[in-house]
Structure 1
Amino acid sequence: MNRTIGIDSSLYYMNEMLSTDNVSYKTFAYAAIEYLKTREKQAVDIQFYKDSINKYLPKVLKTKKNYTILFDIHILLGNTNKRRGLIKPALENYIKAENYARSANDIERIIKIKGNVALIYQNMEELSKALNEAKNTLKLIENNKDALADKYQLRKYKTRLNLGAIYTTLYRDSITNNEYADSALFHYNSLLKNKYYKLSSYRYARINYNLGTIYTLKKEYSKANHFLEKSIKLFKKNNSFSFLYKSHFNNGYNYYMANNLEKAKKSFFSVFQIKKDTLLDSKYVNTHKYLFQIYLKQKNNDSASYYSNRYHKLLNLASIKENKQIIGAVKLDAENNYNKKIDTLTKSIIKKNYYYTAIIIGLILILLVSIYLIVKNIKEKKEAKKRLSELLLKVSKKEKVKDKNFSSSKNLNIKDEQHQQIINGLLKIEEKLYFLKEEFNLYNAAKKIGTNTTYLSKVIREYKKMSFSEYTNELRINYIVNTMSNDKKVRAYTTQAIGEIGGYKNAKSFTRIFKNYTGITPYQFIEKIDKES
């Protein structure tokens, strides 16, 4: 399964292993194939592998002889879930793997899985748990130095690298707490200075990259570039294009912040050379933004305009595909102001005073828009919190959630028979759960009721004060909330599977809509329900 060797041989032997009668090996083979295909972004029949593993895994006897392979199976399942963004199932698999490692008294595997658990807690943004797990792992390594033998240094390296990453994240979230930065630097520098570590050039590259990251956060851009330049050389040597891409971008950012515009441009152009096909990636998108700003400072209007247009196009693509990573990584409130700056820059050649006035007005407008967005965000959070409290209260009282569906409305003042016919049709749709079907839309709903889309939209807007799309989401989310509240089995499903119950085929879209309605994600809602049940 080593990347440097290639996966073809591994897949070949795993497929051969599927023909065995030994259920332990057969289960391991299914788990390994699913993980490899997921890791390499190959097509995977998720339901097939899920059914196969669920069929054979319970048949593996939980005996001392099988503890090791059960560990391997669950760590593979955990890795697969983690790559799919299924954090809770991944954590559950890792915990099972740890239990088997402890039962087998296999110290090396215990240490290995605890490192995975620490990474999961980082992904869940539970940094205190991640830090505690990593610290305990480091103690465990030191206490079992002899047992680990030649693997002692490697395990210590990985754990210290992980500890440094956790402290870096803590510092990023609390930039005034220099103790976090000092702790991160301590762990990274200890890796560089320890002469007993026999590390590959790739591992040294990772250390230098992480040191560059922490100094970037400390705004010590010259030091950051010093370590990033070292990491770039080593990543090139190892053909590690993913980290090479990140290093060039971070290098460009540091040079930009230090006002070394030419070196910044060179680094950003290196980003394009590595990832020409990456459209929906925050670093790729922001590379265009920084190049626009560089050319703007250099008064090169044509190049500034080119990268500004490219930046806008990429943002539109990100918006269309609902890519939250990018939307969160860029400041949309300042978008229109970039083109204004280009216009004012051109006019400044003729009239400088007008240029400065326009800039001041632009900054004031950005400030006002920012204040408006902040106030709006606070208000929306308060409304979401209130909505969630009401929702949880209903769930705790075992009431069926019915907020804005017609079946919950009483004493509607119906204007005429045509309106009554449409409302009766909507009542049937709610009662027969037609809104859960994938083909449910405004046109099909109108056709089923025997009216047209214009009238149907008008009736919903008039009586429910919402659009047809909002009405559909209300019905679906209410149904999902009720189903999760009453059926513990459903709460164990993946986010994708839960969304499909309510007629959503896209997990990201479902999560976004669910959070808009309840104020929290489906995963957080399940946690709250489980705690209260």
Structure 2
Amino acid sequence: MRFLLILLCSVFIKAQSGPDFSILADKAFQKLYQNPDDCISYSQALLISDQNPEHRIVLQNIISQAYAMKGDYVQSVNIYSQKENLKENEQLSYFLQAAGDYNLADQYQNLDLYGQSQRIISGLLSDPKLLKGDHTGMHVITAKLYQLQALNLGINRNYPNALENLSKSDQYLGLSNQENQILKLENSIFRASFLMRQNKSEEARHLLETTLALVEKNTDYYFLQALTAENLSRYYFLKEDYQMAAEFLEKGLSTIENLPYNSLKAKIYESLSKNYFALHNDEKYHQYNKLYTELRTKLDSNTKEGIRYIVKLVETNQNNTLGFQNQKQLKKTTLISSGFIVIIAGLVICFLILKSTNKDLKKQYDFFEKQKKQEQKPPETLQDIAEKNTFTQVTPEKDSNKISKEKEDEILGKLEEWEKQQRFLDKSMTLSVLSSQMGVNTKYLSEVINNSKGKNFNSYINDLRINHIARLLRTDPVYLNYKVSYLAEYSGFSSHSAFTTVFKSVTGMSPNVYIQEISKSRTV
């Protein structure tokens, strides 16, 4: 949803270069919505033979966007950073300099750094030179800026302002060329998404059905078809028509299944797993949940690397990355960032003071720290578990009633695989069921869990469930919209009350309080 910069490129080219390059770049742009790999190969071939600095920036932006569509944010930032030297950049047109700054804002949004993205866009939209021009190039970049601003506002749940910015974006678009038409289609998809979040579901459905009919007329734009179907499935999910929702998701997936639109695929896999979970189709639930988990892990890793890369890039090359913004604005941005860091440090200190006076706050702090460490450390291997278990042996004497070391290692390996497959979310899972599935004696299984996990089976599986749903609430804003009763069912609890009780015992707060805290942190 955030891969939208390059729509303006071919328009710029018409004003800045000859017709041959305009046609070639337009073709490269269209390939973004057909196959990112083809787009990259095609654009790189053009880049090799073209030494015009403005042409090269246009092509680099197209390639950067193609990598972003694949979810390869490291390469996306890397391509973006390959600018010409400062002397050449100073000679670029105003619009291509603005496009460079827009690309930086788009990179920030791809990496979930919404505040940084929004500050750059606000600065560009406040420039009279951009807003008061009367030629097509300026109109397209302005439309793009309002569109990206709308997405940033939507992330922060400011849906009325998000819709207002989409309307402003449409005002700068006509139907004179294909780029403008695609922008309007994308705006329709985003508008429907925001309407659904405002409980205007019927209006959203009508808009999405109309949009889907339009995008299916051009069968080459597979990305737009899949994105529209994915959004339309949400309408049926909210109506609890899980079968229809799954059918739309399967339809959308079929258009991009063999294409590397990995970020969109991850969303579809996750939504399919939710719908098949609701339909009690365990086979398909586990199938898509596994695909989602594997792809999400890969994307999260790439996002973290991309953030480190872009932070280093901005720190060492602020003049290049911000293009035509003057030094005074850079100092102001640095000052704001420093102030923000001081505020965060103060909040952390206050939190540390408060936690020492309240047991629940202490438990909350410990829970967040535990989750952070679990995300940072690599997954524990069977060898690690076995070695750790070796050091916990208390008595070297052989006990005929005690489980053997080999059998214990075998059970630990099976438990590790069971955790990776997230089968603890099964509501019917008990110690007896698990022992039957593993082909392990119940007594042995209970003994291994007590010794290696330091808790009984019920505490062990409840901790897994709560940590899993807490991570989803923290990393995926979609879950913040769900009722606690659905979260309880999704994580394998038999009742709302049981889920709430266990959640508070593990985290030190109720699910509602936890959701409020996560929501607050996302709006800072």
Is this a same-fold pair by TM over 0.5?
A: no
TM-score normalized by the length of structure 2: 0.43
The normalised TM-score by structure 1 is 0.43
